[in-house]
Chains A and B, each alone.
Chain A
């Protein structure tokens, strides 16, 4: 089965700082990779996803992520965070062409200080 590791549990940044959140997965085959965001008191929503093609994918709100197959990683980046980016971020994976259910990481809480 697939699994996902997010090593940063809580990240605190000042506005305008750059962000990189780590995500590593374990699975030997081809994968689909996702980043979801959960703003305080809200449900999860998709930031971006990768399933084929260019390993650098761009999502909403200025976020991007790079799939590095050799490192089994899919790190999320944003060059300049805003206070409104304060949220919890979840990386998720499933096996390409397999069952639809996603395996989620434990999440990284991001706090952006104005």
Chain B
């Protein structure tokens, strides 16, 4: 398995609170991604990064922000969590070629009450 660590693995929080999820990689891969997985929707891209301080929005970016200050770390922040953001969040990494496969982390189960 690729060296990807997501933290925390599980989190329960209340509506309106800020939440930060962390993805750490040891593979020195250029690209990092945040997806959310919901029943009936598959995986949807939230944000991705193509280098340090280089990020772009995905298809469901509203309510989320990201930061990448180091190659190995990609943070996802929910500024003010809502119940609709209850989901499983997966971090993924890949090399530079766009036909390269993604390596996924183990996921973070987030519940917003």
Which A residues are closer than 8 A to B by beta carbons?
1, 6, 32, 34, 36, 42-46, 49, 51, 90, 94-107
Which B residues are closer than 8 A to A by beta carbons?
31, 33, 35, 40-45, 48, 50, 56, 58-59, 90, 92, 94, 96-102, 104-107
Cβ-defined partner of B45 (8 Å) among A90, A98, A102: A102
**8 A-B pairs with least C-beta separation:** A51-B99, A106-B42, A43-B104, A104-B43, A46-B101, A32-B99, A104-B42, A100-B98
* Total of A-B residue pairs, C-beta within 8 Å: 58
Chain B contacts of A105 at CB under 8 A? 42
Nearest-neighbour CB distance to chain B for A48, whole angstroms, equals 10
Closest to A105 in B: B42
Nearest-neighbour CB distance to chain B for A92, whole angstroms, equals 8
- Once the chains bind, are B102 and A102 in contact (CB under 8 Å)? yes
- Once the chains bind, are B98 and A44 in contact (CB under 8 Å)? no
**By CB atoms of chain B within 10 A, which of A1, A6, A44 has the most?**
A44
Chain A contacts of B59 at CB under 8 A? 1, 103
Nearest-neighbour CB distance to chain B for A111, whole angstroms, equals 16
How long is the Cα–Cα vector from A95 to B31 in the complex, in angstroms? Answer: 16
- Once the chains bind, are B98 and A97 in contact (CB under 8 Å)? yes
